Amino acid sequence: MAEREIFTIEGIEAMISNLNRIEREIELRIDRVLTKLAEKVIFDAKKLAPLLSGDLESALTVGVVKTMIRSKYIDFGVSPEVGAYATVQHEGFRKTKSGRVVYMSPGPKTASKPGYKGYSPGKKYLENAIKINESLIIEELRNALRF
């Protein structure tokens, strides 16, 4: 036991404890920021989503923050039940079984939706919502990492 005390540095336990606390606070801050940003993107995507019955808008969701090998991410987009429909609407075309490409054009309900932050509702609704928030995302994540 005496040998071990030779190698201890006074206050190292307090420093390690403080670093662990800082790490937990940053992790929580990043989780909150990722969730807030995903919710903002989905809010904007709903404004830009094509409109027929409203199912697509209501299917836009935000998941929970996940950690994988020291990386954090959050899933957001549409629920699986409308995934194929949402993809066709997002891309603005579909392929028939025969391989023919059918391009979509906004219907009257989508056309009646007003433009939002420089974008028209319809195809690329999720991609455009991300573009709207790109600088906010970078700034918020940068701020979350400051201590």
Query: How far, in Å, CA of 92 to CA of 104, rounded?
Result: 5
* CA–CA distances in Å: residue 18 to residues 12, 83, 127: 10, 45, 40
Q: How many domains does the chain have?
A: 1
Give per-residue pLDDT as tens, 131-143: 999 999 999 999 9
What is the residue range of 47's domain?
2-144
Closest CA to 52 of 75, 76, 82, 77: 82
pLDDT for residue 64: 95
Q: Tokens at residue 102, please? A: 């059918």
In tens, the pLDDT along 21-48 reads 998 999 999 999 999 999 999 999 999 9
Q: Is 31 exposed, middle or buried (0-12, 13-18, 19+ CB in 10 A)?
A: middle
Task: Give me the count of residues in the chain.
Answer: 147
